[in-house]
């Protein structure tokens, strides 16, 4: 009871940006329950806000020691402060837990409050660059609740979706828009597809959860028929390569995406600036790409 209360007060202090009070309260929580990952993670957040990187790093390492699958995403925060390679920043258990939790309010919150429109932007780009084109077989990577299939509408024939979050998949299933759905990682899903059959592989707001997009590009390329398309959005940044942003998502430099696309054998059909949603009322910088398989 006392630990619960300390933790709740700590949470409230975090929300009030009273970092020192939050840090003290989480330390007091951990004196009573020394093996509780959420309190270490919360302590790390307060310590990071106070600039106490060593304390944050130690707390995050403790989270990982207690929960090696990393449901809370400690590796993501560690990667942000240089304590883990970026490649390890997005554990599957964390992404699945994040979106399982989000699934029931995903559409209303993201579309209603954050002006989410990645699927609409991708469809508008397809219409602009390839007017009148339809796609008999579509692979929807990170399909979530099914907004991408809905946006494609009659442009799509059979749509197959994959998502790490079983609860997102359950919501997508209710739409009746998918010929097949599976809960799992997009890389394993792509690896199981027959070669050179898909007309469109699409990923709306998914690669911001993928630290290494090169294997996904290669796997998508293998599944695509000649002339097929890989269409996706990314969050962008001004620097080079891929970084973990302050919003704890992966941000890709457009030039880096272009280079990876070329290395995977794609032709760049279109690259446009694209704001997929708002964050704290501000547009999130991003881009969309249409890549063609030769």
Ligand X SMILES: C[S@@+](CC[C@H](N)C(=O)[O-])C[C@H]1O[C@@H](n2cnc3c(N)ncnc32)[C@H](O)[C@@H]1O
Nearer to ligand X, 41 or 96 (CB): 96
Minimum Å gap between C-beta 267 and ligand X is: 24
Nearer to ligand X, 19 or 135 (CB): 135
* 118 is a contact residue toward ligand X (CB under 6 A): yes
Show the site string, 203-222: x = touches ligand X by CB under 6 A, - = not. Answer: -xxx--xx------------
Which residues touch 49 (CB under 8 Å, ≥6 apart)? 17, 19
* 200 is a contact residue toward ligand X (CB under 6 A): no
45 SS3 class: helix
Nearer to ligand X, 99 or 266 (CB): 99
23 neighbors 30 (Cβ within 8 angstroms): no
* 144 is a contact residue toward ligand X (CB under 6 A): yes
Helices then strands, counting H and E runs in the chain, come out as: 13, 11
* 147 is a contact residue toward ligand X (CB under 6 A): yes
Minimum Å gap between C-beta 205 and ligand X is: 4
Interacting span for ligand X (CB under 6 A) from 24-32, 45-53, 156-164, 250-258: 156-164
Strand partners, 286: 235
* 48 is a contact residue toward ligand X (CB under 6 A): no
Show the site string, 124-143: x = touches ligand X by CB under 6 A, - = not. Answer: ------------------xx
150 neighbors 177 (Cβ within 8 angstroms): yes
Full 3-state SS string of 58-77: HHHHHHHHHCCCCCCCHHHH
Residues touching ligand X: how many (CB under 6 A)? Answer: 21
Minimum Å gap between C-beta 111 and ligand X is: 8
* 186 is a contact residue toward ligand X (CB under 6 A): yes
Nearer to ligand X, 113 or 267 (CB): 113
CA gap 242, 257 in Å, rounded: 9
Q: What are phi and psi of 274, to 5 degrees?
A: -150, 120
Query: Which residue of 99, 217, 232, 256 would you call a contact of ligand X, by CB under 6 A?
Result: 99
CA gap 30, 219 in Å, rounded: 44
| Helix runs in the chain, H state only | 2-15, 19-32, 37-49, 53-66, 74-80, 92-102, 106, 118-129, 147-152, 166-175, 186-192, 214-223, 254-263
Binding site for ligand X (CB under 6 A): 95, 99, 118-119, 142-144, 147-148, 162-165, 168, 185-186, 204-206, 209-210
């Amino acid at each position: 009871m006392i630990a619960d209360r300390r933790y709740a007060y700590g949470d409230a202090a975090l929300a009030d940006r009273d970092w020192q009070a939050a840090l003290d309260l989480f330390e007091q929580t951990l004196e009573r329950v020394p093996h509780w990952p959420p309190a270490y993670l919360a302590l790390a957040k307060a310590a990071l806000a106070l600039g106490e990187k060593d304390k944050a790093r130690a707390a995050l390492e403790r989270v990982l020691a207690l929960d090696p699958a990393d449901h809370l995403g400690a590796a993501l925060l560690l990667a942000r402060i240089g304590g883990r390679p970026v490649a390890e920043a997005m554990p599957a258990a964390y992404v699945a837990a994040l979106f399982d939790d989000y699934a029931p309010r995903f559409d209303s919150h993201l579309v209603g409050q954050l002006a989410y429109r990645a699927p609409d932007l991708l469809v508008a780009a397809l219409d602009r660059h390839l007017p009148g084109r339809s796609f008999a077989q579509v692979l929807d990577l990170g399909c979530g609740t099914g907004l991408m299939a809905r946006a494609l509408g009659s442009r799509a024939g059979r749509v197959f979706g994959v998502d790490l979050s079983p609860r997102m998949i359950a919501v997508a299933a209710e739409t009746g828009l998918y010929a097949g759905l599976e809960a799992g990682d997009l890389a394993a899903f792509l690896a199981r597809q027959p070669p050179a059959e898909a007309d469109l592989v699409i990923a709306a707001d998914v690669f911001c959860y993928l630290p290494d997009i090169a294997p996904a590009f290669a796997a998508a390329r293998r599944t695509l028929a000649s002339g097929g398309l890989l269409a996706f959005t990314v969050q962008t940044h001004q620097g080079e390569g891929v970084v973990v942003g302050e919003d704890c998502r992966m941000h890709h430099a457009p030039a880096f995406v272009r280079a990876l696309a070329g290395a995977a054998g794609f032709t760049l059909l279109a690259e446009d600036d694209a704001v997929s949603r708002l964050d704290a009322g501000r547009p999130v910088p991003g881009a969309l790409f249409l890549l063609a398989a030769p």
